Amino acid sequence: MAIASAPDQAPDRRMHLNLFIFGCGHHKAAWRHPDSPAERIGDVTYFEELARTAERGRLDAVFFADGHAAGDVAGGPWWFLEPLTTLAAMSRATRHIGLVSTVSSTFYTPFHAARLLASLDHISGGRVGWNVVTSMFDAEARNHGYEQMPAHQERYARAEEFVEVVLGLWDSWNDKAFHYDRNGVFADPDLVRPISHRGEHFQVEGPLNVPRPVQGNPVLFQAGSSEQGRTLAARRAEAIYSVAYDLPSAQDYYGDVKARIRRAGRDSRSVAIMPGLVTYVGSTEREARDKQRELDELLPTEESLQQLGLFTEQDCSDWELDAPVPELPPLEEFTGPKGRYETILRIIDSERPTVRQLLGRLAAGGGHCTMVGTPEQIADRMTRWYENGGADGFNLMPPSLPGGIDDFVDHVVPVLQQRGLFRREYEADTLRGHLGLERPPSPH
């Protein structure tokens, strides 16, 4: 099958696939299923098994988001094990798969983040990625000495400087610093230098007390969709997680960010954009939809309708679950946050769901794309996005775990491989290698 490349894709590149691990799955009711691993989310072997499944599918990486507040503990598992600690264990259970974690530039210090990530890159043999986020919730801020989150613009200004300092610390050691001369010096002091950073937000002397990471720099991921987030991505990101409900919205984001990357003087083809993707896979389309319905029916009705009411500014308490969604006001008449409401209107317009189906769509990935069908049908849609300037790959968000990633690896990946869209074997040992990125040269 001939594969046409989008303008910002290198002609010899293949699709990138990443597993986003989140509790028992990305559907809010996944933990309620009798077969869910709810009792195992504090058991590191559960995560090691997920990483091995992703590696069996030759995926680029596994990814953990992170939060700094407990959240709604009654509503299902959010956070349990700290991600970098968990990835250290997962690195010992795998050989090739990349290991990506969110680290907040608002709540960490640059030295702390640089040290943790550099250590994990050494432990894993060069498989680490850092998803740079600024965090967003006041409940998190109150655990770190703030009354509320700093203003959006302030957080991103801090993030820009944070990344600059971390990169400087990683480069404070030259690759050739080590001599191991038992009659002389262990490492050459002239090749281990302070960074002497004095900025608006940070004062960091350096050098780092961990030598330069195996990859030079762990891969920088970014996931912001705001104006400041896109600017940061254009300047710094080496791979991007994005949100897109359908192909037109994916193309809008893809085109805008790739153009920003070029304006920043960088090669836009080297930065993979991976929209989130929720998949329900079945041997028939009906079987796939049955899997989707099974999870949707586990949602607590009253709570879900109440949440929908907040999203739509409607009283949804008496809406009939298996009836079509009542007509909603147009976007221009909506007074609340418009992004989620616009997504709800697009789902209703394109899918004509029942109320229960709409609740399920919002409960599994929110504004992310959802594909339901046979392996061939899902591969067809992924290919359409990939070939038409919507994605360089996908950040997989299985609605349930481990079943959702088992289905994808066992049934969708082989179709992509047969079409020449995805690797059959790993061709590199580092995450940079998986993503086709060069190792940054050694400094000074």
State pLDDT tens for residues 305-352: 988 888 888 999 899 999 999 999 998 888 766 667 888 898 898 889
100-114 confidence digits (pLDDT tens): 999 999 999 999 999
Query: What is residue 5's predicted lDDT score, i.e. its pLDDT?
Result: 47
Tokens of 138: 């006041």
Distance CA 276, CA 369 (A): 7
pLDDT band at 371 (very low <50, low <70, confident <90, very high): very high
Which residue has tokens 């991976």? 274
Which residue has tokens 């700093």? 150
pLDDT value at 2 more than 60: no
Percent of residues, the chain, with pLDDT higher than 90: 77
Domain ranges of the chain: 16-279+390-434, 283-373
CB 233: neighbour CB atoms within 10 A? 27
Query: What is residue 22's predicted lDDT score, i.e. its pLDDT?
Result: 95
pLDDT band at 79 (very low <50, low <70, confident <90, very high): confident
pLDDT value at 1 more than 80: no
Query: What is residue 339's predicted lDDT score, i.e. its pLDDT?
Result: 67
Distance CA 63, CA 99 (A): 6
Question: Between the CA atoms of 363, 233, 102 and 6, what dihedral angle is there, to the nearest 10 degrees?
Answer: 60
- Return mean pLDDT, the chain: 92
CB 414: neighbour CB atoms within 10 A? 15
pLDDT value at 127 more than 70: yes
At a CB cut-off of 8 Å and minimum separation 6, what does 332 contact? none
Query: What is residue 367's predicted lDDT score, i.e. its pLDDT?
Result: 75
CATH top-level class for 16-279+390-434?
Answer: alpha beta
259-292 confidence digits (pLDDT tens): 999 999 999 999 999 999 999 999 999 999 999 9
User: What is the pTM (predicted TM-score) of this model?
Assistant: 0.91
pLDDT band at 13 (very low <50, low <70, confident <90, very high): confident
Query: What is residue 7's predicted lDDT score, i.e. its pLDDT?
Result: 58
What phi, psi does 20 have (nearest 5°)?
-90, 110
pLDDT value at 201 more than 60: yes
